[in-house]
Amino acid sequence: MEKTTKLLRISYWVGAIADGLAAMAMLEQAILARPSTLSGYVPEIPYRYAMALAGSLMLGWTALLIWADQRPYERRGVLVITIPVVLALAGSGLFAVAYGFIPLNRIIPLLLFQSLLVLLFSSSLLSTKKSNAPTGKRGI
């Protein structure tokens, strides 16, 4: 498999797995009212509703990344719109720290992971600039 296509596929699957896990955590808080692993906050109805919405969107993004994997080169634009989403999620984490909702030491691993995602996705996109033709077409 061409290096560019392989890097794109790795990006899609790492993103899909991360989003799938985040969706499960969000939906667990929404449905079961489990405390947040980051903040220890015991969710009340407004928070549970917000987590249900966010978890549903996260599941949708998981599906989008898996869909992009079916035609990695042609659908690389999915990464273009995923990078700002990851940056916004990181910003949300910093907002939570700034207002004392989540302690900084609890959010640092997540911020590091988000930074690695942005680096991976950016590297994948930059590798497509060096490659002229798509390879490994699959599915629709």
Encode pLDDT of 14-40 as tens digits.
Answer: 999 999 999 999 999 899 888 887 788
Give the structural domain span for 10: 3-129
Number of domains in the chain: 1
pLDDT at 137 over 70: no
137 assigned to some structural domain:
no
135 assigned to some structural domain:
no
Helix (H, G, I), strand (E, B) or coil at 62: helix
Encode pLDDT of 74-124 as tens digits.
Answer: 999 999 999 999 999 999 999 999 999 999 999 999 999 999 999 999 999
Q: Provide the whole-model pTM.
A: 0.86
46 assigned to some structural domain:
yes
DSSP 8-61: HHHHHHHHHHHHHHHHHHHHHHHHH-PPPTTT-----HHHHHHHHHHHHHHHHH
Distance CA 89, CA 11 (A): 17
Q: How many CB atoms lie within 10 A of CB 67?
A: 15
76 assigned to some structural domain:
yes
138 assigned to some structural domain:
no
